[in-house]
Amino acid sequence: MTSPADSAETAQTPTALLAEALRGDPGRPLITFYDDATGERVELSVATFANWVAKTSNLIQNELGAQPGDRLALLLPGHWQTAVWLMAAFSTGVVAVPGGDPAGADLVASGPDTLEQARACGGERMALALRPLGGRFPTPPAGFADYAVEVPTQGDRFVPYTPVGPRTPALELAGEVLDAAEVVARARRSAGALGLERGARLLSGLAFDDWEGLAAGLLAPLAAGASVVLCRHLDKLPADQLDNRVAAERVTHRA
C-alpha cells in the first residue's frame, strides 16, 4: 500500500500535494498567520485551508468566469489569503502572476493598498480587505467585488471544467512561466535547501512577490509535509517577542 509520504513524492501538481496532505493528516496545522500591525493570529489546518481553496476556486471559475490559461495578477502581500488565491489559481488552471501588471492580466486580486494600480485591469477585479477574521471592506471599493462578501456562499467542493495536469501553465515570475510540475519540483528543491522535513515549522516574514517568498510561505512546507508560521509586518515585533513566538509556535526553521 502506498503511504501518504510516498504519494506526496509522486505528486506532480500543487493541487495533488494538497490532496495528499488532506489524505495524510487533514487536522494538522498548515499555516499559522500573524499580522503584527493588528495583532491578528489565524491558524489554518490542512482541511480548513483546502476548504478556502475550494471556495475560492469556485469563485474564480464560476463567478469570475476565468478560463485555463487566463492570467491572474496577484497584488497581495504575504498573507494567508494570498496563499489561498495562489492555490486556487493552480486548481483552476489560471496562471498566477504575483505582482503582475494588471493592465496585461485577465483578472486581478488586490489588497487595499494597491486598488488604484489594480484598476488598470480590464477584466474582473476582486478586492481583499485583509482585515482580521476575514472581514469585509466597510464600503466596497468602486469597480471591485469584495472577496469577503463573495466567497462564503461558494461551494465546498471544486471540480475544474478542464483537468489541470502537470504541464498546465501555473505560475509566472519575472516573465518566466512555470508549469504545474515545475512548480512542484522547485518546491521540493526549496524544501531541501531550507532543511525542511515532515513536521517542521518554518517561520517566514517574506513577501509573496518572488519565488523565495512563495516557497517559504506555502509551497516548500506543503511539499515537505511541514507547516509555516507566516508573519506580516514582522518588523513591528520587538526581538524579545519574536523569541517568544518562536518558542510558542515550536518553530524549527526560519526563512
Domains in the chain, CATH or no CATH each: 52-195+208-223+233-254 (3.40.50.12780)
Q: Which of 187, 181, 158 is nearest to 169 (CA)?
A: 181
What is the tens place of the pLDDT at every residue in 239-255? 999 999 999 999 999 99
Query: Cell for 255?
Result: 526563512
For 28, 32, 107, the CA distances from 183, given in Å and listed in that order, are 23, 22, 21
Asked whether the beta carbons of 114 and 82 are under 8 A apart, the reply is no
Q: What is the mean pLDDT of residues 158-165?
A: 96
The residue-averaged pLDDT of 115-138 equals: 96
Q: pLDDT confidence of 133, banded at 50, 70, 90?
A: confident
For residue 15, the model assigns a pLDDT of 97
Identify the CA nearest to 102 among candidates 83, 121, 85. 121
Tens digit of pLDDT for each residue in 74-92? 999 999 999 999 999 999 9
pLDDT at residue 9, rounded to an integer: 67
pLDDT of residue 182: 98
CB atoms within 10 A of CB 126: 23
Residue 6 has pLDDT above 90, yes or no: no
Q: Given this model, what pLDDT does residue 2 score?
A: 39
